[in-house]
Structure 1
Amino acid sequence: MNQLTIAIQQDHQQLSSKRWQSFSTRWHELAAQQGLTTQNIDIFSDSINWLDQLQGCDGFMWWFGQPLSVSRPGRRLIAALAHINKIPTFPNHNTIWHFDDKVAQSYLLQLADIPTPKTWVFWSKSQADKFINLADYPLVLKLSSGVISKNVELVHNRCEASHHAHALFGSGMYALPPANLPFRWFARRASEAIRVFLSRKTDEEFHKGYLLLQEFLPENDFDIRVTIIGNRAFAFRRYNRPGDFRASGSGRIDWNPAQIPSDSLLLAFQTAKILQTQSLAVDILRRNSKPVIAEISYYYEGWAIEKCPGHWKLSDQASQPVWVEGSMRPEDAIWEDFITQLH
C-alpha cells in the first residue's frame, strides 16, 4: 500500500476554560512517530491556494470549536468534501453538521428515538404564545448556540417566558443577558446598540425568530459527561454551580469511574452508534431514575478527557463495556481510529 499522506488544518484555539489546545500539533507528532506524511493546511492563509494542497492526500483532519470564525468555514468545508465524497475527514459530516445547534440536535434526537427531556421548538410568536399560556413551569430556555451553560436559563413563569419570546421574535439577541442584572432587557438592547454603533466585531451567532424550551428535570445535582470516541467512553460527573441548576462549565468535576452508572455509558454508546459519529460528547441527566440526554456536542476540552483515569471499551462480542486502566489523550484516540480507517 502507498504511503499515507494526511492533510491537517492548523489549530491553536483558546478554550472556554481559557486553556489553549492544539490537536493538530499532536497529530503531526503521531504521524512522525509512525512514519506517515502530513500536509500542513491553513485555509486562512492568503498566500496559497489551500484547496490545491488537498490533492493527493488520503485524509483531512481539523479540530475546531464554537467561534463562528472557525466553525462556519469548518462546517462548510466538511459538508462540501462529504457531498462529493472527496476524501475521508475528521470530523465527518455525521459528526459535525449539528454542532452547536441545539435546535438541530433536538430534531435529530427525537427522530432517532433517543431519550431526552421534552423539548419544544417554535418558529412563530403566535405558536409560542399559545404554549407559554398553557405550559407548566419551570422550564429551561436555551438559545441554539452557547457553551459552558451560556445562553441557558431557568424560566419560572409565563411572564418570564413571554419576555424571552418577545425579544427573540422581536429584535433578537447575541446572548441572554445575565439573569441577575438590573433592567436586564434594557441593558441587553443598550449593549447591542453600542455594538452596532461602534461596529464591534463578534464571533457569536445572532438569535432571532425561534424559541426553544425544554423540560426542567429537578433533583439533578450533577450531570454525567460521557465522551464517545470510536468504541471508547470517557466519563465524569460535573456538579452544578452553587445555587444553580447548570453543571456545564462549573469546573466542579469528579473523575471517579465508580460513580458512573452503566446505563449512562450504554445510552451514550447507543447514541453514537445510531448517529454514526466518530466522536460525540453527551450530557446525561436522570428523569425518574432513567438516563436522558440533555445535549450533545462534537466539541470538548481535551484536558478533561485526559484526566480520566481510564476509559470503557465496548466490543461487538460484549454486552457490557470493559474498563481499560490508564489515561488517554482524546486526540490520540481520534488519530488511532482515523488512521485505522484509512488502512
Structure 2
Amino acid sequence: MKIAIHPRENSFSDSWTELCEEEGIDYTLVNCFDNNIISILKGYDVLLWHWHHTDSKAKLIADTLMYSVELMGLKVYPNYKTSLFFDDKIKQKYLFESIGVPSIVTNIFFDKQSSSNFLSKTSFPKVFKLKGGAGASNVRLINNISQAKEINNIMFDTGISLVSSHTSDAKAKFKKIKSFKDFIEKALRFPSVFLKKRKLNKSFNKEIGYTYFQDFLPNNTYDIRIIVISNIAFGIKRMNRKDDFRASGSGNIDYDISELDTSIVNKCFEIKNKLSLQSVAFDLLYNKDKVEFVEMCHVWSRKAYYPCKGYWDSELKWHNNLDFKPENYILTELIKGKL
C-alpha cells in the first residue's frame, strides 16, 4: 500500500510520517497545492492531509480535492463528509437541528431588521459567535441590548475580521504568563506573530451579513470535549479561563472524566455513525442536569490528548491507558479499511 502525506509542521502529519518510518510503511510526502497533484497521486492508495482552518489556500481547494481523489479510488483523510461542516458554526446549527442533536438554542439572522427584532425581544446574556474560529476566538458574551445593537450594526455594516488580532483577549493572555521568563519569550515572539496575523487577515474577507446568537448556559466551570475515531472515544474536561465563561483555548485541562455518564459517549458514537464521519470532536456543556452539544470539528490539538487516561470502545467498555497517539489510529484504521 502506497501512502501520500501532505506535510504541515506541528500537525497530524508529523505523527503519521513517524509511524510510517517506524512500521516500514511505504509513504511519500506530496504537495496538495501542486498543479499536477491529480496525476502525481495516480498509483497511490491513500492520501492524508491535515489542513488548518486558517489556511486560506487549503479552505479554497481541500474539500473538492479530497472528494476528487476519492473518485480516483484512493482512501482519503479527511473525506468529504468528515470535513464538510468543519469550522462553520452556521452549517453545524442546521445539521444538529436536522438530525435531532440535543444542542444549545441558536439563532441566526441574515438581515439586520430580523436580527434587531429578535434582540429587542430576547433575554440576555447571549453568546455571539462568528461562524469560524477555534480556541474560543471570535466568541463574545453579549450582556445587554446596548452591546447587542452595537454588534448587530457592525455585522451588517462594516463586518468583523475572521482572524482575531494578537491584541485581542490581551487580558486573558496576560493572565497566562507565569514567570518573567515567560513574559520575555512572549514579547520576543510578538513581532513575528503580529506579522503572521496581519498576513492571515489579508487572506480572508471580513465576516459580514449575518448574526449568530447562542443561549448562554450559566454555572459551567468547564466544557467537555469527546473525540470519536472509528470504534473508540476519549475525552477531557477543559476548565474555564479565569474570570471568563470560555473554556476552549484555556490550556487548563482535567483528564479525569471517570464520572461522565456513558450515555453521553454513546450519543457521540451515534451521531458520528449517523453522519458517516471518520473522526469527530464534540464540544458539550451542561444545561442544568442535561448535556447539550455546542459545536463539532474533525481535528484537534494532538499533544493535548496524549495524557488521556484511557478510552471507551463502541460497546462503551472502558480501557485504561491511551497508549497510542490518537491521530495514528486514523492512519492504522484507514489502512485496515475500517475508516
Whole-angstrom CA distance in 2 between matches of 1:199 and 1:62: 23
TM (norm. structure 2) is 0.84
Report the secondary structure of 1:57's partner residue: coil
Q: Once the 2 structures are TM-superposed, how far is the Cα of residue 270 of structure 1 from its aligned partner?
A: 2.0
Q: Do the aligned partners of residues 85 and 139 (structure 1) sit closer, same or farther apart at CA in structure 2, a change above 3 Å counting?
A: farther
| Residue type at the aligned position of 2:111 | S
Whole-angstrom CA distance in 2 between matches of 1:313 and 1:206: 42
Query: Matched residues, percent identical?
Result: 28
Task: Please state if 1:72 is matched with 2:60.
Answer: yes
Q: Once the 2 structures are TM-superposed, how far is the Cα of residue 326 of structure 1 from its aligned partner?
A: 3.4
Whole-angstrom CA distance in 2 between matches of 1:214 and 1:295: 11
Report the secondary structure of 2:160's partner residue: coil
Please point out which of 31, 50, 59 is paired with 1:42: 31
Q: Do the aligned partners of residues 259 and 205 (structure 1) sit closer, same or farther apart at CA in structure 2, a change above 3 Å counting?
A: farther
Task: Please state if 1:119 is matched with 2:106.
Answer: yes
Whole-angstrom CA distance in 2 between matches of 1:209 and 1:174: 13
| Structure 2 equivalent of residue 295 of structure 1 | 295
Please point out which of 139, 142, 148 is paired with 2:129: 142
| Structure 2 equivalent of residue 223 of structure 1 | 223
| Residue type at the aligned position of 2:51 | F
| Residue type at the aligned position of 2:17 | H
RMSD between aligned alpha carbons? 2.5
Report the secondary structure of 2:91's partner residue: helix
| Structure 1 equivalent of residue 89 of structure 2 | 102
Q: How many residues align?
A: 310
Task: Please state if 1:255 is matched with 2:242.
Answer: no
Residues 11-49 of structure 1 show CA distances to partners (whole Å, capped at 9, x for unaligned) of 21xxxxxxxx2322432343344443223211345xx72
Please point out which of 2, 6, 25 is paired with 1:5: 2
| Structure 2 equivalent of residue 235 of structure 1 | 235
Matches within 5 A, 1:1-343: 4-12=1-9, 21-45=10-34, 49-67=36-54, 68-82=56-70, 84=71, 86-175=73-162, 178=168, 202-204=202-204, 206-314=206-314, 318=315, 320-341=316-337
Tell which deviates more after alignment, 199-208 or 256-265.
Answer: 199-208
Contact 2:124 2:143 in 1 (8 A): yes
| Residue type at the aligned position of 1:43 | C
| Residue type at the aligned position of 2:308 | C
Whole-angstrom CA distance in 2 between matches of 1:285 and 1:325: 25
Whole-angstrom CA distance in 2 between matches of 1:147 and 1:92: 21
| Residue type at the aligned position of 2:280 | L
Residues 74-93 of structure 1 show CA distances to partners (whole Å, capped at 9, x for unaligned) of 233124335x4642211011
| Runs of 5+ unmatched residues, structure 1 | 13-20, 182-194
Q: Do the aligned partners of residues 55 and 169 (structure 1) sit closer, same or farther apart at CA in structure 2, a change above 3 Å counting?
A: same
Contact 1:228 1:279 in 2 (8 A): yes
Whole-angstrom CA distance in 2 between matches of 1:296 and 1:54: 30
Whole-angstrom CA distance in 1 between matches of 2:114 and 2:304: 41
Contact 1:122 1:212 in 2 (8 A): yes
| Residue type at the aligned position of 1:10 | P
Q: Once the 2 structures are TM-superposed, how far is the Cα of residue 213 of structure 1 from its aligned partner?
A: 0.7
Report the secondary structure of 2:266's partner residue: helix
Tell which deviates more after alignment, 171-180 or 120-129.
Answer: 171-180
Whole-angstrom CA distance in 2 between matches of 1:264 and 1:94: 22
| Structure 1 equivalent of residue 184 of structure 2 | none
TM (norm. structure 1) is 0.83
Contact 2:4 2:48 in 1 (8 A): yes
| Runs of 5+ unmatched residues, structure 2 | 172-194
